[in-house]
Amino acid sequence: MSEDQSAVATEASRPGLSAGPTSEFSLFFHVKPGEGESIRAALRDLQETPGYRPGDYGMAIASIHEARFVLFDDDTRLAFVTSFDGSWDAYMDDFLTSGPTLALFDAIFSHTEGYDGLPDLAALQAFVLGAQQTAAAYARNYGGTVKEIRKAQRVNDAFQQVLDDPDAADALQHPALKPLLDEAAD
Partner 1 sequence: MESNSLELDDIQSGALHERPTPYVGTYLLLRIDDRAAGRELVRRLHGLVDSGKTSQDPAHGAWITAAFTYQGLEALGVPQDSLDSFAPEFRQGMAARAAELGDVGQSSPPNWEKPLGTPDVHVALGVLSSDQARLDAAAERARRAHRELTGVELIWRQDCYQLPTGRTSFGFKDGIGQPSVEGSGLPPSNPKEKPLKAGAIVLGYPDETGELPPMPSPDVLGRNGTYVVFRKLHTKVAAYRRYLRDKAASREEEALLGAKMVGRWQSGAPLALAPDADDPKLGADPQRNNDFLYGDDLRGLKCPAGAHSRRANPRDALDGDGSVDVRLHRMIRRGTSYGPMLPDGELEDDGVDRGIVFVFAGAHLKRQFEFVKTQWLNDGIFVGAPLEKDPLVGTNDGSGRFTIPEVPIRRRLQDLPPFVVTRGGEYCFAPGLRALRWLAELDT
The residues that touch partner 1, with contacts defined as CB under 8 A, are 160, 163-164, 168-169, 172-173, 181, 184-186
Which is closer to partner 1, CB of 53 or CB of 178? Answer: 178
Which is closer to partner 1, CB of 46 or CB of 168? Answer: 168
Work out how close the CB of 163 gets to partner 1 at its nearest, in angstroms, rounded to a whole number: 5
Work out how close the CB of 164 gets to partner 1 at its nearest, in angstroms, rounded to a whole number: 6
Closest CA to 54 of 63, 42, 64, 66: 66
Which is closer to partner 1, CB of 155 or CB of 169? Answer: 169
How many whole angstroms separate alpha carbon 69 and alpha carbon 134?
17
Q: What is the b/e burial string over 129-143, where b = at least 16 CB atoms within 10 angstroms of the residue's CB?
A: bebbeeeeeeeeeee
Work out how close the CB of 54 gets to partner 1 at its nearest, in angstroms, rounded to a whole number: 15
How many whole angstroms separate alpha carbon 132 and alpha carbon 29?
9
Work out how close the CB of 18 gets to partner 1 at its nearest, in angstroms, rounded to a whole number: 23
Closest CA to 67 of 109, 97, 24: 24
**In one letter, which amino acid is 100?**
P
Which is closer to partner 1, CB of 4 or CB of 164? Answer: 164
